[in-house]
Amino acid sequence: MNRLKDKCAIITGAAGGQGRVACRMFAAEGARVLATDLEAGARREIEGIAPGAITYVDADVAVMDGIEKIVDTARSVFGGRIDILYNNHGVILGKSFMETTPEEWDRIHNVDLRSVYFLSQRVVPAMSGGGSIVNVSSIGGLVALENMTAYGAAKGGLVMLTRGMALELRARAIRVNAICPGVIDTPMPRNFVRDRPDRDAIMRAMAERHMMRRLGRPHEVVALALFLASDESSFMTGSIITVDGGWTAF
Ligand SMILES: NC(=O)c1ccc[n+]([C@@H]2O[C@H](COP(=O)([O-])OP(=O)(O)OC[C@H]3O[C@@H](n4cnc5c(N)ncnc54)[C@H](O)[C@@H]3O)[C@@H](O)[C@H]2O)c1
């Protein structure tokens, strides 16, 4: 119940499949949560997940104004101190190497990689008592996936960003770790195949590709994020951990 008691946590991508579950599970463990995502209209619903424990702010993490808005709001809501940054936001691109445009490359790298760098950089000064940063990469950041080369490059970049941040932030007692999920049953994979006539077959094939022959569930990823955010993982930093039902193990 109290694994994050009185911790002040920023959760990005809070209106998404994993983000909503993260808001619920972090608040249930006693955290005060600054939840953020793109849509201003999500406020009532997200704050309603745990009334009193969650404040929602809409912001685009791909632009510096959005990043400053998140950090300013967090500082004012939390009274200046931030303990946890859960970089959960992300977008996916399913496009072949030969067809991906410079604009698509820039978008995926801005949202999935650059934003994590600069949001973290701006949050760190408020982590004056130490802290934990949890980045959400992907199995696509570890192994090659068909038509996901640009996404994989961004998520793979996040793996090295995590290790570099862990090294450079150790003197501030800030731990930095990354999670690499397999396919998790959220709007992301479902939107990804939405326009395909064979979408049900693709979803089944994706499930079968995991050693456990099913998709992951959002709480199965968030459970690890919660552990990494909490003091229970006090000897972990620079770790890259899969939650992938065995996908990358064979
Ligand atoms: N679902 C999967 O199969 C899967 C697999 C591996 C990794 N991941 C990663 O898990 C994380 C959570 O994804 P999810 O499964 O909940 O997907 P999701 O699409 O439900 O949620 C992602 C959220 O990120 C937000 N977002 C996107 N661009 C943004 C921007 N510019 N500024 C602010 N917010 C923005 C979206 O609005 C959305 O609410 C992502 O980083 C994703 O890449 C997901």
Q: Are 22 and 11 in contact (CB under 8 A)?
A: yes
16-31 residue pLDDT tens: 999 999 999 999 999 9
154-203 residue pLDDT tens: 999 999 999 999 999 999 999 999 999 999 999 999 999 999 999 999 99
User: 129 C-alpha to center of ligand 1: Å?
Assistant: 29
The Cα–Cα gap between 82 and 13 comes to: 18
Prediction pTM value = 0.98
Whether 38 is in the pocket of ligand 1, judged by its Cβ within 6 Å, is yes
**Which residues sit opposite 240 in a β-bridge?**
178
Task: Write down all domains in the chain, each with its CATH number in brackets.
Answer: 8-249 (3.40.50.720)
**Catalytic residue list contains 86:** no
